């Protein structure tokens, strides 16, 4: 199989394709559970983001398993994995690559950067300058990179898993709205409960679970599942429901900035992916309601008054979900 591009025959989602996807993704979910314990909801959302061909921003404190989760996902789908530690002196060329002079051949040769992979871990992305952060914009939205005037297609499937520490602000650069809008979802792992944390201690007593993790789904199967997700049926009433939710974010007095049309498109695709993960070839309003906080919270901006009154973005999204009539 070509490492740069994956060519597969896409089976119709109606002809048992949804069940095929659900079975393969269940294998992937169980494999990830061996490494990440007690985080079933986060694993579910991560799988949905993978199926929807989106990137994920993980906002959490150090040590809760963000890097481990990214490595586990890459190993489970037998993919090319790259990790970039974002620092203030990191340059765009360090991510994208560039031409390097070869004295033996007497000419410049293009060297691919770490972005040419299937799963890219952008660790502590908010520590790099905005110029370097923006190097990922095109990759996340179009699965390509423009380098030295030439367009380079990235391998498929492609996914960025970025991490940032929401507590430590010294030496960091907050992600601009345009960058945040490229992430499909944001998740936080949080602390495990006491029982799960005790199990983690014993699970890693002799070796790390990552050391024995084996691939359970092939890259070409993931690419096939992603293509099938776009075939999942969405009733017009559900699409209108999504648009109404987005419009409410633009007129809510607590929000200075509402979700863009990209937000409605991302919520649409995420709902399709959620249906496929559940083994359905059609979207339910429940899919939209369940995923709206993950897809929309990072796309809106609170007013100063709302922020100082301890209102969170997810609180506003939940209030909007409650106020909009759900289609029958």
Q: Answer whether residue 190 is part of any domain.
A: yes
Closest CA to 48 of 25, 70, 78: 25
Evaluate if residue 167 carries a pLDDT over 80. Answer: no
Q: Which two tokens stand for residue 139?
A: 């990759």
Cβ distance 118 to 71 under 8 Å? Answer: no
Same domain, residue pair 264 and 201: no
Same domain, residue pair 160 and 115: yes
Q: Angle 288-291-295 (CA atoms, 0-180°, nearest 5)?
A: 110
Evaluate if residue 2 carries a pLDDT over 70. Answer: no
pLDDT at site 189: 84
**Could you tell me what percent of the chain has a pLDDT over 90?**
50
Q: Answer whether residue 3 is part of any domain.
A: no
pTM, whole model, 2 decimals? 0.88
Q: Answer whether residue 8 is part of any domain.
A: no
Report the relative pairing of strands 56-59 and 159-164 from DSSP bridges. Answer: parallel
Taking the C-alpha atoms of residue 313 and residue 300, their distance in angstroms, rounded to an integer, is 7
309-to-88, 163, 301, 322 alpha-carbon distances in Å: 33, 27, 14, 20
Q: Which two tokens stand for residue 125?
A: 């992305």
The half-sphere exposure of 156 on its side-chain side, counting CA atoms within 13 A, is 20
Q: Answer whether residue 214 is part of any domain.
A: no
Q: Which two tokens stand for residue 136?
A: 């990922």
**CATH number for the domain harbouring residue 243:** 1.10.8.80
Q: Answer whether residue 87 is part of any domain.
A: yes
Q: How confident is the model at residue 13 (pLDDT cuts 50, 70, 90)?
A: low
Q: Answer whether residue 4 is part of any domain.
A: no
Mean pLDDT for the stretch of residues 8-37 = 77
pLDDT at site 318: 95
Same domain, residue pair 43 and 116: yes
**CATH number for the domain harbouring residue 137:** 3.40.50.300
Mean pLDDT of the chain: 87
Which of 79-88, 174-183, 204-213 has the highest mean predicted lDDT (pLDDT)?
A: 79-88
Q: Which two tokens stand for residue 165?
A: 């520490």
Taking the C-alpha atoms of residue 67 and residue 234, their distance in angstroms, rounded to an integer, is 34
Same domain, residue pair 36 and 178: yes
Taking the C-alpha atoms of residue 299 and residue 314, their distance in angstroms, rounded to an integer, is 11
Same domain, residue pair 152 and 266: no
DSSP 150-196: EEEEPPSS-EEEEEE-SS--TT--PPPHHHHTT-SEEE---PPPHHH
Q: How confident is the model at residue 16 (pLDDT cuts 50, 70, 90)?
A: low
Q: Answer whether residue 146 is part of any domain.
A: yes
How many angstroms separate the first and last alpha carbons of the chain? 45
pLDDT in tens, 54-71: 999 998 777 778 888 889
Q: Which two tokens stand for residue 247?
A: 């419009």
Same domain, residue pair 236 and 202: no
Residue that finishes a domain, picked among 227, 258, 274: 227
Residue that finishes a domain, picked among 171, 198, 227: 227
Taking the C-alpha atoms of residue 181 and residue 142, their distance in angstroms, rounded to an integer, is 13
Residue that finishes a domain, picked among 192, 227, 262: 227
Same domain, residue pair 101 and 247: no
Taking the C-alpha atoms of residue 164 and residue 149, their distance in angstroms, rounded to an integer, is 31
Same domain, residue pair 44 and 145: yes
Task: Identify the three-state secondary structure at position 9.
Answer: coil
Taking the C-alpha atoms of residue 98 and residue 110, their distance in angstroms, rounded to an integer, is 5
Same domain, residue pair 53 and 176: yes
Same domain, residue pair 39 and 181: yes
Same domain, residue pair 196 and 61: yes
pLDDT at site 216: 92
Q: Answer whether residue 328 is part of any domain.
A: no
Taking the C-alpha atoms of residue 64 and residue 70, their distance in angstroms, rounded to an integer, is 12
Same domain, residue pair 21 and 131: yes
> Which residue pairs, CB below 8 angstroms and at least 24 apart, start in 25-32?
25/51, 25/217, 25/225, 25/276, 25/277, 27/216, 27/217, 28/76, 28/77, 28/216, 28/217, 30/216, 31/72, 31/76, 31/213, 31/214, 31/216, 32/69, 32/72, 32/73, 32/76
Q: How confident is the model at residue 168 (pLDDT cuts 50, 70, 90)?
A: low
Number of structural domains found in the chain? 2
Range of the domain at 278: 232-323
């Amino acid at each position: 199989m070509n490492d740069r591009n994956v060519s597969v025959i896409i089976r119709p989602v109606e002809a048992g394709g949804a069940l095929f996807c659900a079975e393969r993704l269940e294998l992937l979910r169980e494999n990830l559970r061996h490494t990440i314990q007690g985080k079933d909801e986060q694993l579910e959302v991560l799988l949905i983001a993978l199926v929807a061909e989106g990137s994920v921003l993980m906002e959490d404190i150090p040590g809760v398993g963000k890097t481990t989760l990214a490595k586990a996902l890459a190993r489970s789908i037998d993919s090319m994995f790259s990790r970039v530690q974002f620092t203030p002196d990191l340059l765009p060329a360090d991510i994208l690559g560039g031409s390097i002079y070869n004295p033996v051949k007497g000419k410049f040769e293009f060297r691919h950067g770490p972005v040419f992979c299937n799963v890219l871990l952008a660790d502590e992305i908010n520590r790099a300058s905005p110029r370097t952060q923006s190097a990922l914009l095109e990759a996340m939205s179009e699965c390509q990179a423009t380098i030295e005037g030439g367009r380079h297609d990235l391998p498929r499937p492609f996914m960025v898993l970025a991490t940032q520490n929401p507590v430590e602000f010294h030496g960091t650069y907050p992600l601009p709205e345009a960058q945040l809008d490229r992430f499909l979802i944001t998740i936080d792992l949080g602390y495990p409960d006491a029982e799960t944390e005790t199990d983690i201690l014993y699970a890693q007593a002799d070796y790390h679970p990552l050391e024995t993790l084996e691939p359970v789904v092939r890259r070409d199967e993931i690419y096939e599942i992603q293509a099938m997700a776009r075939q999942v049926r969405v009733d017009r009433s559900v699409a209108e429901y999504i648009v109404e939710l987005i419009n409410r974010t633009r007129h809510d007095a607590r929000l200075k900035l509402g979700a863009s049309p990209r937000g409605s498109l991302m919520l649409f695709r995420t709902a399709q992916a959620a249906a496929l993960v559940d083994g359905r070839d059609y979207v339910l309003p429940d899919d939209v309601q369940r995923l709206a906080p993950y897809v929309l919270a990072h796309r809106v901006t609170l007013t100063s008054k709302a922020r100082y009154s301890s209102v969170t973005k997810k609180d506003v999204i939940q209030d909007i979900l409650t106020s909009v009539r759900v289609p029958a």
